[in-house]
Amino acid sequence: MKFFIDTANLAHIKEAHDLGILDGVTTNPSLMAKEGIKGTQATLDHYKAICEIVDGDISAEVLSTDFDSMVEEGETLAALHPNIVVKVPMIKDGLKAIKYFSDKGIKTNCTLVFSAGQAILAAKAGATYVSPFLGRVDDIGWDGVQLIEQIANIYAIQGYETQILAASIRSSLHIVKCAEAGAHVCTCPLEPILGLLTHPLTASGLAKFVADAEKMKEIMQEQE
Ligand code: E4P
């Protein structure tokens, strides 16, 4: 399973990249606005800055919701860098735009997916990635991980090549569950990724090893 970071924060992207396990980045208009990015040029410059940090797929979302404008925006975004993936919402015009981009060899990420039916349409249109939002599915009392499993089963049975990009991840446990459920990619903020590193037994075990290492150093010093 590939690891993408779901943020437009350059410091977080750099920190995840420096861990050596980062495969890509996803952004959305809310994450860009959170970083204070406004206007076309600033937006394009920000995506270029992300592409300079991470050598992997970078999802950049279109802001419009009609076919012609999505195509115009997507082509501008795709021209920025070969690693840009045009992120398109799962709506009727979005589906048409994904098919258009797919036919032109432009990578896409179909976003705001909440059902297996939507995921089937995204695959049929040739999306590179489909983004089921499992955290938001959990928020309304449904089972987000089960949705990932269902899509993974359907894609395997049908031989669809679209990659399942599990999104809206809220915890380290979500990441593990997505790996079990067959997601090809998980995208999440920095905290759940860092959370995978920690375990109380690792902390207590290391404290004991460090203390015993000190004793070993004392013994070695005495022997010298
Ligand atoms: C996916 O690509 C979205 O950017 C993101 O995962 C949404 O997450 P949220 O539900 O925490 O906003």
193 CA distance to ligand 1 middle (Å) = 15
Q: What is the mean pLDDT of the chain?
A: 97
Strand segments (E) across the chain: 2-6, 24-26, 57-61, 84-89, 108-113, 129-132, 163-166, 185-188
Q: Are residues 77 and 106 in contact, defined by beta-carbon separation less than 8 angstroms?
A: no
* CA pair distance 80, 90, nearest whole angstrom: 23
168 CA distance to ligand 1 middle (Å) = 4
Q: Which domains does the chain have, with CATH numbers?
A: 2-199 (3.20.20.70)
Q: Is 28 in the pocket of ligand 1 (CB under 6 A)?
A: yes
101 CA distance to ligand 1 middle (Å) = 22
Q: Could you report the per-residue pLDDT of 154-201, keeping only the tens digit for each?
A: 999 999 999 999 999 999 999 999 999 999 999 999 999 999 999 999
Measured from the CA of 31, which atom of ligand 1 is nearest? Answer: 4
| Regions of the chain where pLDDT drops below 50 | none
Catalytic residue flag (residue 96):
no
Pocket test for ligand 1, best of 4, 13, 25, 28 (most atoms within 8 A of CB): 28
Strand segments (E) across 49-199: 57-61, 84-89, 108-113, 129-132, 163-166, 185-188
Choosing from 2, 87, 99, 177, the catalytic residue is 87
Instruction: Give the total residue count for the chain.
Output: 224
- At residue 19, the pLDDT reads 97
* CA pair distance 36, 8, nearest whole angstrom: 10
Report the candidate in 115, 73, 79 with the shortest Cα–Cα distance to residue 93: 73
Q: Is 128 in the pocket of ligand 1 (CB under 6 A)?
A: no
Q: Is 118 in the pocket of ligand 1 (CB under 6 A)?
A: no
CA triple 13-51-60, angle to 5 deg: 85
Token pair, residue 156, equals 């395997």
201 CA distance to ligand 1 middle (Å) = 31
Counting residues of the chain whose pLDDT is more than 70, the rounded percentage is 100
Q: Is 167 in the pocket of ligand 1 (CB under 6 A)?
A: yes
The pTM assigned to this predicted structure is 0.95
Q: Could you report the per-residue pLDDT of 97-110, keeping only the tens digit for each?
A: 999 999 999 999 99
